[in-house]
Amino acid sequence: MARSRDDFVIAIRSAFLKKKDKQKFSLLTLLFLSIFVIVLSNYNFKIIELVKIGINEVTYRVSFLVSLPENKIQNINSQIKDHIKIYDNYKNIESELKKLKQKQLSNNFLKMENEKLRKLINESIESDELLAKVLIDKDSPFLKSIILNKGTKDKLKIGMAVVDEIYLVGKVIEVNFTNSRVLLLSDLNSKIPVILEPIGIQAVVSGTGGSEGKIQYTKEEYSNKIKSQDIIVYTSGLGGIFKPGLPVGKISSDNIGKINFFSDFKQLEYVKVISHLIEGKN
């Protein structure tokens, strides 16, 4: 009994403390070092923040370079697919364009009317847009985020909204000097205040970790109000983080509670970061 316990102790001691010829640190030293790093990353000291930013800067750049061949192959693959479907796409786009031209006329009128009404209540929304390239978009099964090539040197701040064309895709959660991380709407930790139109109900959109989102925390029951119509989800602007009126996604009447995001987060190449200011002169 004592013999087997001795063997166990020797095996454990050898595993944790013994170093091979080429190894500089023992396993135990590195285990303690990693625990130390985990504990340190929990604190927001200036020096730790600077070290973190330095590591992020270098790692994101190297990862971007390493991913270049794979991204090139993926681009070629999607280009070939696009060429194959070119005629069908042309027909679809042609019919969509007709419909959009008709809609644009009524939209222009609504836009002008909206501006007039805002003037009446002395409110204006000013926003700045900054175009950014997506450096890394690793489709991790656990966390959904992307890395942009803009950082504090371009005056990016945590909390800014990120859009693909006009559609919201997420918000900035980490800013380094030349790059930043965006938490996508599909991430489990993403919570965005929204308004469901045309029924006008306030809600919170949460990510599911998959390709769609879900509605949470509605003040009133909305399923009866949907009936046979589709619902468009816009940012409500509550909390002042996001500009109000950014399109987020669509809820189909046959699948209530599930939001299909307008933007395809797996195809992001360039995005816009939006900062906005709501001014009321009362």
**Interacting residues toward other proteins by CB under 8 A:** 7, 10-12, 14-16, 18, 20-27, 30-31, 33-38, 40-42, 52, 55-56, 59-60, 62-63, 66-67, 70, 74, 136, 138-143, 145, 174, 181, 188-189, 209-210, 266
CB of 65 to other proteins, least distance (A): 9
Which DSSP helix (H) or strand (E) runs through 52?
helix 46-84
CB of 210 to other proteins, least distance (A): 7
Q: Assess contact for 204 and 242: CB atoms under 8 A.
A: no
Q: Which is nearer to other proteins, 41 or 107 (CB)?
A: 41
Least separation, in Å, of the C-beta of 214 and other proteins? 13
User: Of 24 and 99, which has the nearer Cβ to other proteins?
Assistant: 24
In angstroms, the CA 100 to CA 103 distance is 5
Q: How far is the CB of 149 from other proteins (least distance, A)?
A: 15
Rounded-to-integer distance, Cα 109 and Cα 90, Å = 29
Amino acid present at 137: D
Smaller CB separation from other proteins, 28 or 117: 28
CB of 82 to other proteins, least distance (A): 17
Amino acid at 268: L
Give the integer Cα–Cα distance in Å for 170 and 164.
Answer: 9
Token digits of residue 261: 């995001």
Q: Pick the closer one to other proteins by CB: 52 or 225.
A: 52
Closer of 18 and 155 to other proteins (Cβ)? 18
Whole-Å CA distances, 55 to 30, 67, 143, 150: 18, 18, 19, 16
